[in-house]
C-alpha cells in the first residue's frame, strides 16, 4: 500500500483544506482498524491451535511483539482482545469493519463483564477511549471468589482473596527516568502523609533561610537569586534519604548505597548501570568522589575469572547486564530475573568469561536445556536456533504490502462530546438464574 499526499485545490480556504485531510485521515483510520482486527484474529488462532510453543516465544503477546515489531504494550492490547474474541463478537466485528479502533475494543475486552457485548458495541460507536474506560469502571463488580485449597477438607473455610500488593515500574528517555507507583488506598494514604510531611519540612526550612517567596525569583532589591520553592519531587528524595539513614543506623557496617556508572576511558562516554547515557556534567558530578572498579582486557575483550570458578561474581554480573540488558533470545526482551548462561557449559570446559556468557530469562534457559532451542556463541557472534535448526531472527515480519488495503468504510470517529455521566446507565449483569 503506497502512501500518497492529497493536494488541495488551489484557492480553497483553510477549513476546506482541513476537511480534505480529515477525509483521508478517516479512510486511513478505517483501514488501520480493519488490519488490526485481522491481526487480532491471527493472534487468537495461534493461541487456539497452540502454535506458540514451536516458535521459541514465551507467550502469544511476546510472539506478536516480535513478529510485528510493535511494542510489548501494543502486543498486550492485541492479545487482550484475542483472549475474549468469542465473548465480544459485535465489538470485534466492528473492529474488522473499521468502525471501532483497537484501543476502544481493548478497553472493553480488558475489564467489561460477560454478556455486555451489545451494550458496549452501541456505546463505543460514539464514546472515546477515556469515556469507555470510565463507563467500564462504573460496572458493579462482584466480590472476588474465595480461594479454596483443592486438598483441603470439605468443611474447611476457604482462604480470603489475596491482598493487593504495591508495584513500582519505571521507564526512561534521554533526559529523565519516569517512575510509576501503584499502591493500595491505605498504603497510598501513608505515602501521601509521609511525602507531605517532608515537603512541609523543606518549605519551613526554605522560609527560615530565604523568606516567603514561593516563586523562587529571588530578592529584587538585592539582586540575589534564591533557590526554587520546594517541590513534591524534592520531598520524595528527602523521603528516600531518610530511609537510607534509617537503614545505615540499623546496619552501621553495611554499605549505604552504590550508584554504578560505566565509563569508557577512551571516549569518556558514561551511562548508568542499566540506565541512560549521562551528559558530561552528570558524569563529572558522579565521578567527583567515587570508588572505581577496573576491568582489564586481553585483545580488546574484558577478562573474567576463567576456569577458577563456575559462579558469576557481582562485578562480572554487572558487566554482563551492561552488555546484554535483556534476554538474548530474539523476540523475548525480558529484563527481570535473568540467568547468566555459559554458552560452552562449565562441565564441558567453558570459561567464566564475558565472551562465554549471555543473559537469558528463566523460560528460555529451561527451554534451551530441554533442547527446544539452541544457543551457541561466542557472545559477539551469537546464534539462536529452534528445534529444527532454523535461526531465530530479531527483526519483525513486516514487509511492503503486495495486496490492496481492505475495502472498509471510513472510520467515523467518536462524537467528541462531553459525556453526561448522570444520564448514563452502566451495564448491569443479569441476575443469576436458579434451577429448580
Residue 218 has what pLDDT?
46
Residue 106 has what pLDDT?
95
261: which strand partners?
A: 272
Contacts of 386 (CB under 8 A, 6+ apart): 54, 55, 56, 372, 373, 374, 392
Q: What is the largest CA-CA distance in the chain?
A: 88
Q: What is the mean pLDDT of residues 370-374?
A: 86
Q: What percent of the chain has pLDDT above 70?
A: 77
Residue 187 has what pLDDT?
85
* Residue of higher predicted confidence among 309 and 119: 119
| 3 state DSSP class of 253 | coil
> If we measure between CA atoms, which residue out of 250, 275, 272, 249 comes closest to residue 262?
272
Give the least confident one: 241-245, 248-252, 383-387. Answer: 248-252
177 sits in which H/E element: strand 177-182
HSE (CB half, 13 Å, CA atoms) of 11?
0
> If we measure between CA atoms, which residue out of 170, 382, 166, 378 comes closest to residue 272?
170
Residue 84 has what pLDDT?
93
- The dihedral region occupied by 310, where left means phi > 0, alpha psi between -120 and 50, and beta the remainder, is alpha
Q: What is the pTM (predicted TM-score) of this model? A: 0.64
Residue 35 has what pLDDT?
94
Residue 262 has what pLDDT?
74
| 3 state DSSP class of 302 | strand
61-110 pLDDT, tens digit per residue, is 988 988 888 888 999 999 999 999 999 999 999 999 999 999 999 999 99
Residue 40 has what pLDDT?
95
Scanning the structure block, which residue is given the C-alpha cell 510472539? Answer: 63
CA–CA separation, 113 and 111 (whole Å): 7
Residue 9 has what pLDDT?
57
> If we measure between CA atoms, which residue out of 341, 350, 336 comes closest to residue 368?
341
Ranges of H-type helices in 254-335: 280-286, 314-324
Backbone angles phi, psi at 236, to 5 degrees: -65, -40
Contact 46, 68 (CB under 8 A): no
Contact 56, 67 (CB under 8 A): no
Does residue 411 surpass a pLDDT of 90? no
Domain map (residue ranges) of the chain: 14-140+412-420, 167-213+228-250, 261-297, 300-385
124-164 pLDDT, tens digit per residue, is 988 889 999 999 988 887 666 665 666 666 666 666 666 77
Please give the mean pLDDT across all residues of the chain: 79
Contact 138, 424 (CB under 8 A): yes
Give the least confident one: 259-268, 409-418, 425-434. Answer: 259-268
275-301 pLDDT, tens digit per residue, is 777 777 777 666 666 666 555 555 555
HSE (CB half, 13 Å, CA atoms) of 286?
18
* Residue of higher predicted confidence among 111 and 9: 111
CA–CA separation, 199 and 107 (whole Å): 37
3-45 pLDDT, tens digit per residue, is 455 555 566 788 888 888 888 899 999 999 999 999 999 999 9
Scanning the structure block, which residue is given the C-alpha cell 492479545? Answer: 79
Contact 195, 232 (CB under 8 A): yes
Q: What percent of the chain has pLDDT above 90?
A: 18
SS (HEC) of 68-134:
HCCCHHHHHHHHHHHHCCCCCHHHHHHHHCCCCCHHHHHHHHHHCCCCCHHHHHHHHCCCCHHHHHH
Using the CB atoms, write b or e for 346-382: b if 16+ within 10 Å: eeeebbbbbbbbbbbbebbbebbeeeebebebbbeee
Contact 85, 47 (CB under 8 A): no
Amino acid at each position: 500500500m503506497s502512501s500518497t499526499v492529497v493536494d488541495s485545490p488551489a484557492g480553497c480556504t483553510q477549513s476546506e483544506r482541513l476537511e480534505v485531510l480529515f477525509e483521508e485521515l478517516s479512510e486511513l483510520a478505517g483501514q488501520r482498524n480493519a488490519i488490526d482486527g485481522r491481526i487480532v484474529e491471527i493472534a487468537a488462532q495461534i493461541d487456539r491451535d497452540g502454535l506458540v510453543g514451536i516458535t521459541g516465544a514465551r507467550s502469544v503477546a511476546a510472539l506478536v511483539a516480535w513478529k510485528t515489531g510493535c511494542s510489548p504494550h501494543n502486543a498486550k492490547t492485541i492479545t487482550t482482545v484475542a483472549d475474549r474474541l468469542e465473548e465480544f463478537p459485535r465489538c470485534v466485528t466492528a473492529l474488522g469493519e473499521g468502525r471501532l479502533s483497537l484501543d476502544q475494543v481493548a478497553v472493553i475486552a480488558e475489564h467489561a463483564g460477560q454478556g455486555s457485548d451489545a451494550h458496549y458495541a452501541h456505546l463505543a460507536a460514539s464514546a472515546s477511549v477515556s469515556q469507555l474506560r470510565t463507563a467500564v469502571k462504573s460496572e458493579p463488580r462482584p466480590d472476588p471468589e474465595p480461594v479454596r485449597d483443592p486438598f483441603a477438607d470439605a468443611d474447611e473455610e476457604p482462604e480470603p482473596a489475596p491482598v493487593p500488593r504495591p508495584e513500582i515500574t519505571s521507564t526512561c528517555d534521554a533526559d529523565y527516568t519516569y517512575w510509576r507507583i501503584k499502591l493500595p488506598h491505605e498504603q497510598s494514604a501513608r505515602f501521601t502523609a509521609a511525602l507531605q510531611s517532608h515537603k512541609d519540612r523543606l518549605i519551613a526550612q526554605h522560609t527560615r533561610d530565604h523568606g516567603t517567596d514561593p516563586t523562587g525569583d529571588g530578592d529584587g532589591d538585592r539582586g540575589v537569586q534564591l533557590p526554587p520553592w520546594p517541590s513534591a519531587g524534592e520531598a520524595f528524595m528527602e523521603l528516600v534519604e531518610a530511609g537510607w539513614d534509617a537503614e545505615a543506623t540499623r546496619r552501621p557496617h553495611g554499605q549505604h548505597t552504590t550508584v554504578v556508572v560505566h565509563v569508557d576511558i577512551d571516549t569518556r562516554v558514561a551511562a548508568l548501570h542499566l540506565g541512560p547515557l549521562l551528559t558530561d556534567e552528570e558524569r563529572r558530578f558522579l565521578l567527583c568522589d567515587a570508588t572505581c572498579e577496573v576491568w582489564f582486557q586481553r585483545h580488546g575483550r574484558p577478562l573474567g575469572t576463567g576456569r577458577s570458578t563456575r559462579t558469576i561474581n557481582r562485578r562480572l554480573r554487572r558487566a554482563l547486564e551492561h552488555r546484554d540488558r535483556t534476554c538474548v533470545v530474539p523476540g523475548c526482551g525480558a529484563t527481570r530475573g535473568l540467568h547468566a548462561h555459559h554458552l560452552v557449559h562449565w562441565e564441558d570446559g567453558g570459561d567464566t568469561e564475558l565472551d562465554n556468557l549471555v543473559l537469558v530469562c528463566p523460560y528460555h534457559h529451561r527451554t534451551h536445556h530441554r533442547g527446544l532451542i539452541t544457543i551457541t556463541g561466542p557472545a559477539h557472534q551469537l546464534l539462536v536456533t529452534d528445534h529444527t535448526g532454523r535461526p531465530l531472527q530479531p527483526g519483525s515480519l513486516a514487509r511492503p504490502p503486495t495486496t490492496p488495503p481492505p475495502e472498509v468504510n471510513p472510520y467515523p470517529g467518536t462524537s467528541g462530546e462531553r459525556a453526561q455521566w448522570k444520564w448514563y446507565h452502566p451495564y448491569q449483569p443479569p441476575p443469576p438464574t436458579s434451577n429448580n
